[in-house]
Amino acid sequence: MRFLERIEERPGAAELRAASYRMVALKRGATCVDVACGAGHAVAELAKKGLKVTGIDADPDAVEAARERAPGATFHVAHSDELPLEDESMDGYRALRLFHLLEDSAPTVAEAYRVLRPGGRIVLGGQDYGFVLIDSSDQDLTDVIRLGLESRTVSPRATRTLRDVLLDENFHDVEVAVHTEVVTDYREMAPQLKSASDAAVEKALITQEDADSWLAEQSRRGRRGRFLAVIPTLLVGARR
């Protein structure tokens, strides 16, 4: 839960959520489901906009936290490919930070199609780990370490396929937008950098000496104010 809270409270997270709301484009009184709602930040914000929001997450702890954040909303503990919702019962559907966790996006998108009314709007999104940029004096080593980060995710490049998946499921007017977060504070990324380098060592992509050297360089960049990471998030919207 601390991780979910930290992700949604990072600089740029509120702007990303707002971009997804603009893409789903719902009016007051409309129904909307937020799938993989996490700790409920988006549910609470959408409810304040006058929407009738249902939050769904597979993690009971996340749903409990979300209920505290948005007590007026409806919540369910469920998986994204089996929603406890009636056919054609929603005007809007939103799911971010989900698809890198799924082996196959198609069942989740098919379920979204089922619960959306004709003309309803959907917005999907998340990070594509293949696009993450981290500046370094040894870019080849950095690219290998990024592969280590990808190895700890079920589908690290799933987001780039979402346009095709939506089209395959007969959604219309598909649009893609990119929200880019620029991180210059090394402390924000230090845990992820360590995790990525550890994974690269575990996968025998690099040696421990390579990892230690690379982490030391990133730390030095942080102390000198030279750290730079660029993290794009893809948003894919469509109409049923």
Q: At 113, which CATH number?
A: 3.40.50.150
Pairing state between β 172-183 and 133-134: unpaired
The number of domains in the chain is 1
For residue 149 the two structure tokens come to: 């980060």
Beta bridge partners of 94: 34, 123
Instruction: Tell me which amino acid residue 196 is.
Output: A
Answer yes or no: are the C-beta atoms of 10 and 188 closer than 8 Å: yes
Mean pLDDT calculated for residue range 2-28: 86
pLDDT for residue 115 is more than 90: yes
Mean pLDDT calculated for residue range 201-208: 96
Averaged pLDDT of the chain: 95
Predicted confidence at residue 10, as pLDDT, reads 76
Predicted confidence at residue 227, as pLDDT, reads 98
pLDDT for residue 64 is more than 70: yes
pLDDT for residue 214 is more than 70: yes
Q: pLDDT of 69-102, one tens digit each?
A: 999 999 999 999 999 999 999 999 999 999 999 9
| Predicted confidence band of residue 1 (pLDDT cuts 50, 70, 90) | low
Q: pLDDT of 136-179, one tens digit each?
A: 999 999 999 999 989 989 999 999 999 999 999 999 999 999 99
- Burial (Cβ within 10 Å: 0-12, 13-18, ≥19) of residue 39: buried
Answer yes or no: are the C-beta atoms of 38 and 95 closer than 8 Å: no
Predicted confidence at residue 12, as pLDDT, reads 80
Provide the residue range defining the domain that includes 161: 2-239
Predicted confidence at residue 66, as pLDDT, reads 96
